[in-house]
Amino acid sequence: MRIFKENTIEKEIIKISQDFRNENVHALDEVEKSTSKNKIVRFTAGIAKIVRVISPKVKKMINGILSITTRISTFSVNLDYSGEHLKKSADKLYNSSEVLNSSIKEVKEAMQQITLAIEDDAEAVEYISSGNIELIKHMDENKKNLGLVKNVNKELEFKAQSMEKDMTELNCILENMKTIVTGMSEIASKTNLLALNASIEAARAGEAGKGFAVVAEEVRKLSESTSKQLEKMEEFVNNIGTCSTNSSKSVKDTIESIDKLGEYTEAISASSSKVRESIDTEVKSIELLAASMEEINASSEEINSNMDIIGENVQEVSNEAAVLSEKSLEIKYLADEMDKIDDEMSNLAKLSGDITGENHFKITNKDFIVAINNAIKAHENWVEQLQNMAMENKIKPIQTDGQKCGFGHFYNSVMPRHEGIKEIWIKIDNIHKELHKVGEVVKNNIKDENTEKAKENSKKATQLSQTIINMLSNIKSIATEVDKEGNLVL
């Protein structure tokens, strides 16, 4: 009886095994719920049903854990980068706002000085404008006086010309007088000669000629006296002639001077007119300048008012920059917490990898190949990002921990059992870690502003990445052949 019962249990367990392999969950459920079956049989059926039901869910959960672990790592890197970048930006914004605030104070002080200077200049312009008005009055008076001078000059010129004419007539009279005196001198000379002859004849006549001799002598004396008077008269006429000649020359010089004075007066009048025009233009310019200065003064006051508003806004920006700096520290703290979560998720991923070692929870070959394809694409993108960083000399979010990138999480969670793949799998680890370390080196090169070194190390990373991609491609080819043969990679 006991042997029969054991045989029956064995058959039922074999049947349960067949239903498990055939994924007949309904049959397993009926065995578990059957009250006529042995407890061991029902328990075995229940376990088999549970394993079969949760197996796809466990696989999905494992894939999800690996996926979310990668996303958490990426998010952690981006969050850390954003926090650091935000901190730098906040510090720059704060420093810039402080510098701007200081500049605003200096500008405001300068504008106040400018306003005072404008007010002083406005007063000076007003003073100049008043002075110009007075100057215009004086110029008008001078113009009037010049007109009077011109009239007097014309009258003087007329009188000088009349005097010149009179002097010419006087010279003619003097010439006539010289002719008369000359004639009279000749007469006196002849009279003296006749008196001498008469005296000689009277002497010849003797006593009878004495009376006549006395008359002749008197005539002779009168003739000599007349000659002397005529000589004085001739000297007088000559003196008058000389003075008249000099006077004529003086009159001519006077007329020439009057003419020149007229020319000078005309020149002064013309110059005064031009000066007046210039002053009128200057007055208009000063009026425009005064109006402009009033506008500038109003604008400077408006600028001062706006500078106060800007100063208030800059202070608000400075306060917000301080808040952003604090928030960046909070983000940095969150990034550190995310990093811890990342570590815990990595441990869960490793545990998930241990679960995949069990036959019924293994990752399929197709999932493995998809993971390898994703790793190849991820490393191509990673290297491209690193090259862009080196070319632009600018740090960007990039994973530099080989154990926390997408492939790193997957690598540490599974271990292929196929010897050909396993051999490559083991070798890839050190190269992969070195690749991500080079990423950190490039970041430091950029921080040190060593562009050439950053480019050189990015090329090194490209070579390492290409080596890894070649190894992954080789693994993918082997995995594809293994899958065709119906064998498992893991």
Mean pLDDT to the nearest integer, 238-250: 70
Spatial CA neighbour of 315 closest among 486, 467, 160, 101: 101
In-domain check, residue 336:
no
pLDDT tens digit sequence for 147-196: 766 676 677 667 767 766 766 776 777 677 778 767 767 776 777 777 67
Location of structure tokens 């869910």:
57
Say which residue, 350 or 383, is predicted with more confidence.
383
**Do the Cβ atoms of 65 and 349 come closer than 8 Å?**
yes
Residue 478's pLDDT is what? 95
The band of 275, judged by pLDDT with boundaries at 50, 70 and 90, is low
pLDDT tens digit sequence for 182-221: 776 777 677 777 767 777 777 777 676 667 667 767 777 7
d(CA 217, CA 196): 8
Calculate the alpha carbon distances from 331 to 72, 92, 395 in Å.
15, 18, 18
Q: How many CB atoms lie within 10 A of CB 407?
A: 22
In-domain check, residue 449:
no
Range with the poorest average pLDDT among 113-122, 291-300, 325-334:
325-334
The band of 4, judged by pLDDT with boundaries at 50, 70 and 90, is very low
Quick check: 357 pLDDT over 60?
Answer: no
Residue 59's pLDDT is what? 61
DSSP letters, 135-202, are: HHHHHHHHHHHHHHHHHHHHHHHHHHHHHHHHHHHHHHHHHHHHHHHHHHHHHHHHHHHHHHHHHHHH
Quick check: 408 pLDDT over 80?
Answer: yes
Residue 444's pLDDT is what? 94
Calculate the alpha carbon distances from 347 to 241, 278, 403, 433, 437 in Å.
146, 95, 11, 18, 22
d(CA 135, CA 489): 111
Structure tokens at 23: 């994924």
What domain range includes position 156? 117-297
Structure tokens at 86: 């935000």
In-domain check, residue 82:
no
Percent of the chain with pLDDT over 90: 18
Quick check: 1 pLDDT over 50?
Answer: no
DSSP letters, 323-386, are: HHHHHHHHHHHHHHHHHHHHHHHHHHHHHHHHHTTSGGGPPPHHHHHHHHHHHHHHHHHHHHHH
The band of 354, judged by pLDDT with boundaries at 50, 70 and 90, is low
d(CA 484, CA 436): 34
Cα-Cα-Cα-Cα dihedral of 370, 373, 375, 379, to 10°?
Answer: -160
Quick check: 401 pLDDT over 80?
Answer: yes
**Do the Cβ atoms of 331 and 79 come closer than 8 Å?**
yes
Calculate the alpha carbon distances from 466 to 231, 381, 421, 431, 452 in Å.
145, 12, 18, 11, 21
In-domain check, residue 445:
no
Structure tokens at 240: 């008058």
In-domain check, residue 79:
no
The band of 30, judged by pLDDT with boundaries at 50, 70 and 90, is confident
What's phi and psi for 396, nearest 5 deg? -130, 165
Q: How many CB atoms lie within 10 A of CB 115?
A: 17
Angle ∠(186,188,190) on CA atoms, nearest 5:
70
Residue 67's pLDDT is what? 61
The band of 289, judged by pLDDT with boundaries at 50, 70 and 90, is low
Residues with Cβ within 8 Å of residue 214, at least 6 apart in sequence: none
The band of 472, judged by pLDDT with boundaries at 50, 70 and 90, is very high
Mean pLDDT to the nearest integer, 315-322: 70
d(CA 193, CA 11): 212
In-domain check, residue 166:
yes
In-domain check, residue 476:
no
Helix 419-447 / helix 365-392 crossing angle, nearest 10 deg: 20
Mean pLDDT to the nearest integer, 249-257: 69
pLDDT tens digit sequence for 73-85: 666 676 667 667 6
State the greatest distance between any 2 C-alpha atoms of the chain, in Å, as a whole number.
246
Structure tokens at 476: 């993918």
Mean pLDDT to the nearest integer, 261-284: 68
Mean pLDDT to the nearest integer, 46-70: 67
Q: Give me the CATH number covering residue 162.
A: 1.10.287.950
Q: State the chain's mean pLDDT as an integer.
A: 75
Residues with Cβ within 8 Å of residue 374, at least 6 apart in sequence: 406, 407
Location of structure tokens 């229940």:
46
d(CA 357, CA 382): 30
In-domain check, residue 54:
no
d(CA 21, CA 308): 82
User: What total number of domains does the chain contain?
Assistant: 1
